[in-house]
Amino acid sequence: MKKTIILLLILISFLIGFYFNKLANQKKINQAIEKKQRLEKENQVLQKEKVKINQESTELTLNKNKTLEKIVPSTVFFTYKTFYLTNNQYRIDIYLNGQTDGSADVADLVLNLSDNLTVVKIDQGTVFASYPRSLVDKNIITITGMTVVKNNNFQFGKLNILFVSLTLEKKPIAASTKTTVRLNHENSKVFLLGKSILDYQHSFSEINL
């Protein structure tokens, strides 16, 4: 009788161990299946994203080509208007001019100020949708405007409108000293489709205040 009970307990212990081992194995199998299913779903999402990106890239290229077909390559030039404000302050509006149907990819306007001028304010114009750079380094001003992509369309620079507006303050100096804003011909550039299109001869060289 005692041996029978011991054997029965051993059998029960074995069955319990077998049962829990089976449960553990089944749990591992379920986890593996869930992981596989999750990876398959992630792969499907990834494939959809790749298709979407390819479609957007194709659409962007087509839109760019259509836009480029409408662009008429032509030279551009910088012009200006000056306004006396008050307290020895001046506003200079600088325009990027050219043919009505012309355009530009990117433009760098670099100006050299005489030592008696300080920059009060810089207001971006509307030639470009983006002006990523407006820097003042001592007596040098650098303004950069560039083309942007919006809704899969290229927004190139427009011409014959305001590029930038500068408010400058003039310090008292001797009457014989000139107060000037000079266009830096070496570093001022305008490009269209990788080609330099800035006409330096028709652009202003110096503004006297």
Share of the chain above pLDDT 70, in %: 67
pLDDT in tens, 145-200: 998 888 777 888 999 999 999 999 988 876 667 899 999 999 999 998 888 999 99
Tokens standing for residue 8: 């029965």
E-assigned strand segments in the chain: 76-84, 89-98, 106-113, 117-124, 130-137, 140-146, 148-150, 153-155, 161-170, 180-183, 189-192, 195-196, 206-208
Asked if the model's pLDDT at residue 18 lies above 70, the reply is: no
Radius of gyration of the chain (CA): 35
pLDDT at 100: 80
- From residue 94, alpha-carbon distances to 80, 122, 139, 142 in Å are 4, 11, 18, 13
pLDDT at 62: 46
CA 4 to the chain's CA centroid: 84
Tokens of 200: 């330096």
Residue 117 has pLDDT above 80, yes or no: yes
Q: What is the mean pLDDT of residues 66-73?
A: 56
Most confident of 17-26, 32-41, 197-206: 197-206
- Positive or negative, the CA dihedral 189, 190, 196, 197 is negative
